[in-house]
Structure 1
Amino acid sequence: MKLKFVFSLFMAGASLGVFAQTHLEGVEYYKADQFNNALELLERNYNNPGTDKAVANYYLGLLSIRQQDLAGAKKYFEQGVSINPDYAYNYIGLGSLELKNGNVKEAENNFKKAEKLNKKDAAVWVAIARAYYESSSEGATIYEKQIANALKNARRRNMYEPEIFIYEGDVAYDHDDRNSAASKYEMATTYNPKAADAYVKYAKLYTKFNPDFAISMLKKLLENNPNSALGQRELAEAYYNKEDYKSAAEQYSKYINNPSHFKSDENRYLLLLFHGGKYQEGYEYSSKLLAENPDNFTARRFQLMNAAQLDPMKDQLLGLAEEVYRRHMADPKNNAIAIVDYNLISSELRFAKRYEEATEVLKEGIIEFPENADFYRRLAKIPLEQNKFDEAADAYMLYISKTDKASYTDLIQTALLCYYAGDLNKDETQKAKAEEYVRNSIVYAEKAAVADPDNYRPYKVLGDAKAYLAPEADKATAGKADYEKALSLIDQEKNASDFAEIQKALGVK
């Protein structure tokens, strides 16, 4: 790169705003091996003021090579040369293409053009070494001498060039030598404290087994390069991977204001706000996104989810739930909903006494998430609210059969419902069915007694059920042992009504 070009590029960068969107953001992501993100940013920012299109074309060309689009890559490199023939790297790009096509001599000619333009720039020689290395899966072996020579020339120009150490770190990483890779990336950060790609690659080596160290590296990057969108995003992700959702949300709140963020980041931020318990912020942010794009279905879902946690939003929940479900039904494939959505929507419909609609929502949920037994429990609440005890009992028994996590509350509720379903059915023609319900109440009451042996309620149900099923002559004594057990456990002041019933059953006046 000629001195005049370097100076003009520096001045152009200096004149841009803090969060200017240029080629630099895409380059940062490319060098960190995040190629899809790099492509989006390079294309998004291509025509922005401050973007050096010669540089942008070089990296777009490299991305095209990775996509096996060699014709497209050639177009980018040639366009880059025409924009600025003094920018060396597009010649390196053309050389890379020649290597892909097996034209080693033509590749060398292009590399020589790059060398002449930047005789003292060690980074150019590193880029040439990388071109040989990445020419094929056997590039390191086929072009071993050329790579060694390019790196030798790079060190002659500047033995402390950070790109040398980043390249060597990448090679070490490819050979699964993580210790060597870490050492090389660390050296790169020493010689260029603003090298975002070096910090990010260094941090990723530690993300899983030493997340705190990875976080400290990314914080150090942002101390030296505070406006790095890549650094901001990676720090937020590092907190997320550590399951420190509060810190992740706080970091995302900073990053999301960087115009170089991605749409997918907005969804992640919504998730973090919700799981971090920041419901008001989550509601406001989802509402902001919906104002910008009413078809943002993720934002619409999180608007409902956050609103459901806010008391002042209580009266608006039904409308929000209806809109989420309407959009889901209009396009189920692209507007899929999760368990939490089915729960919220069905609950709001149930609260509005729109029982059939609530039932349909839950039945769809069962089809989509058959492993989620809680849907059956929620289904059982619908007939229960309508005093349809037989249907409620059936639904609760079905729920118990679907889960291995039935609680004491689930078991005693099922026992009570089965007893009510039998006891309240006085129709002689339904006697057999009524007795079956009561026998089931005994089954679930016994299980409830095991789940909470110090609670009187299971024993009261057992006493009631046994008395119900006993012949008329034995009714007074059939449940005696269970009633006595219940009496020994009950707090008569807190449960005065049940206490009185048990005493009456035992004939105590």
Structure 2
Amino acid sequence: MNIIRRAIQASLLLGVVGTTAFAQSLGDAKKAIDAEQYQQAKTILKKLIASQPTSGENYFYLGNVYLKDDYTDSAKATFNKGVSSDAEYALNYVGLGTLDLGAKNPTAAKAKFDKAISLVKRKDNSPYLYIGKAYTNAVPADYASALANLTKAKEINEKDAEVYLAMGDAYRGDKKNSEAFGAYRTAYDMDKTLLRAEIEQGKLIKQSKAFQESADKFKSILAINAKYAPAYRELAETYYLWAKSEPQQYDARIKEALQYYTKYLDLTDRSLESRMRYADFLVLAGEYKSLEAEAQQMIQMDKANPRIYRYLGYSLYENGNYAGSVQAMKDFMSKVDPERIIANDYLYLGKAQLKAGDSTGVVNLTKAVDIDSAYAEPISELAKTEFSARKYGLSAELYELAVKNAASKTYLFDYFYLGMANYFDYASKTPAVQKTSKEALVRADSAFSLVSQKSPSTADAYLYRARTNRLLDDDQNSKGLMVPHFEKYIEIILAKPDGLTDVRNKKNLVESYNNLGAYFLKTDQAKSKELFNKAIALDPTNEYALSVLNTLK
């Protein structure tokens, strides 16, 4: 009987030892998160939750992984479950507050952060640490609030390397690179296993365009841990930027960059999360064929994640599938929270719609420019395309958007063509339609006026302003609206060395002299005759000038 009892006890002991050997802890999950092995982290955390359903900590870290993956609904549900399971655990309230910041609701976020702080144990700095991270990562970021909370976290525990790492992120976001570098160095000095701090130092070096030194830094990290995936990703992005800065080495360095990213994917199990990081890199590198292939594969893995449809929409547009791009972008926007739609999304949808023949794309392009006026610049090319296709009304709408960015390199060019598009839009209409409204001419005149003010030597601005004002004037009771502009055009052209020899100049001078001659015909025949003679001098066969001069004789 004793033998049987000892055998059973031995068996049970072996079972316990075996379970302990293969059990994974929260520490393992944190290591997986740091190494960007998010699928592995989720697997560990879900098992921990199943075995420890009342531990709020596991829910918090799982919710954070969902946040990194952009699954905000899953993150919210997980944080709420954490609160239900352990209402006294502070960090799930921080997680919910972080979501409020993402939803542009800082008041609700602060209420949840305050709730978390009210639950803080005397030596626990973690709520302040994660509140600081939340403010750093918010869009827009609030670095003052981030650093205020991180400073409190440091006061509670000055030996916490994670606090210095987070402070480095906040300083870097606030463009205080010296302070950031010092914070990262302190973090690593405190904890030599904290390779993330070394990664962030390398990113600062890369930011200063010291690409060789940056690459050396990341390679030194791999000498410590050859399986640390983030270092391969940073190497890939370093080599991409290095390639762009030295075009003669572009192909070789892009090839290396892609090899490093492949290694990154291999070390992160090619999970959906790591593939999305790779997709971000492909967007950066402009590798749209590869991006489309990745997006198609990711959709087979998860049809619900909205970011995948964004990648697909961008790549399909760049690869010439405009109808497909429109559908993908609409799918993306229908799945994602409206607050997460960025200017570039509206830009791509609008461009794709126009390319697909849908003029309502202007509505989405307008939304892009309303969010960020810098997006007005790429619209210039779209406007030019529509102008070349003689779609003058649509072209004018697009140029109206293009000129909203005064810092654009094509600003004056766009304003000139804004005038041209409105002028030709009016001119292309039937006389009956022209009689109902001259608003297009008013807009054209305004555009040409701005060009002539900003660039007084641009002769064509005066020529087209003169033509525009001729149409704006009353034929029966002319006020001479065109006169000063034709006169200014003549003055500029005659001052040019080729003013009287260039074929186009001569033709436009004849037009100017004839229009001015006709205007002065009723009030000053001597001046009128002089102007028509100047037209004949340039074009001896000009029928209009000859007929008027014959009448004057």
* Interval containing the TM-score (normalised by the shorter chain): 0.5 to 0.7
* Alignment-derived partner of residue 115 in structure 1: none
Closer, same or farther: CA 486–364 of 1 in aligned 2, 3 Å:
same
Structure 2 CA distance for aligned equivalents of residues 270 and 493 of structure 1: 58
Q: CA RMSD in A?
A: 5.6
* Alignment-derived partner of residue 41 in structure 1: 40
TM-score, normalization by structure 1: 0.54
The answer to whether the 8 A contact 1:459-1:483 is kept is: no
One-letter amino acid matched to 2:337 = K
Closer, same or farther: CA 242–172 of 1 in aligned 2, 3 Å:
farther
Closer, same or farther: CA 475–179 of 1 in aligned 2, 3 Å:
closer
Deviation at 1:384, TM superposition (A): 6.0
Structure 2 CA distance for aligned equivalents of residues 181 and 346 of structure 1: 42
Structure 1 stretch displaced more, 262-271 or 373-382: 373-382
Structure 1 CA distance for aligned equivalents of residues 386 and 39 of structure 2: 52
The answer to whether the 8 A contact 1:215-1:235 is kept is: yes
The answer to whether the 8 A contact 2:279-2:291 is kept is: yes
C-alpha deviations, 1:40-63, integer Å up to 9, x for none?
Answer: 53452699xxxxxxxx979x98x9
Deviation at 1:321, TM superposition (A): 1.7
* Alignment-derived partner of residue 447 in structure 1: 450
Structure 2 CA distance for aligned equivalents of residues 175 and 277 of structure 1: 31
Closer, same or farther: CA 289–304 of 1 in aligned 2, 3 Å:
same
Whether 2:195 is the aligned partner of 1:199: answer yes
Report SS of the residue matched to 2:266.
coil
* Alignment-derived partner of residue 299 in structure 1: 308
Where in structure 2 are there 5+ consecutive unaligned residues?
Answer: 1-13, 61-88, 90-119, 126-157, 168-178, 246-253, 514-534, 540-553
State which of 245, 251, 255 in structure 1 corresponds to 2:260: 251
Structure 2 CA distance for aligned equivalents of residues 397 and 171 of structure 1: 50
Aligned length: 375
Report SS of the residue matched to 2:337.
coil
One-letter amino acid matched to 1:256 = L
Alignment of 1:44-443 (within 5 A): 44=43, 64=55, 66=57, 136-138=121-123, 170=161, 173=164, 182=185, 185-186=188-189, 189=192, 197-204=193-200, 207-208=203-204, 216-229=216-229, 231-232=231-232, 251-260=260-269, 263-309=272-318, 313-314=319-320, 317-328=321-332, 330-331=334-335, 333=337, 338-353=342-357, 355=358, 358-359=359-360, 361-364=361-364, 366-367=366-367, 370-372=370-372, 374=376, 389=392, 393=396, 395=397, 398-399=400-401, 402-405=404-407, 407-423=411-427, 427=431, 431=435, 433-434=437-438, 437-443=440-446
Identity of aligned residues (%): 14
The answer to whether the 8 A contact 1:490-1:499 is kept is: no
Closer, same or farther: CA 501–399 of 1 in aligned 2, 3 Å:
same
Closer, same or farther: CA 495–239 of 1 in aligned 2, 3 Å:
same
TM-score, normalization by structure 2: 0.50
The answer to whether the 8 A contact 1:182-1:202 is kept is: yes
* Alignment-derived partner of residue 548 in structure 2: none
Deviation at 1:327, TM superposition (A): 2.0
Structure 2 CA distance for aligned equivalents of residues 338 and 475 of structure 1: 45
The answer to whether the 8 A contact 2:240-2:257 is kept is: yes
Structure 2 CA distance for aligned equivalents of residues 173 and 343 of structure 1: 39
Report SS of the residue matched to 2:267.
coil
* Alignment-derived partner of residue 129 in structure 1: none
Deviation at 1:324, TM superposition (A): 0.8
The answer to whether the 8 A contact 2:403-2:414 is kept is: no
Structure 1 CA distance for aligned equivalents of residues 183 and 345 of structure 2: 48
The answer to whether the 8 A contact 1:23-1:41 is kept is: no
* Alignment-derived partner of residue 504 in structure 1: 511
Report SS of the residue matched to 1:226.
coil
The answer to whether the 8 A contact 1:290-1:299 is kept is: yes
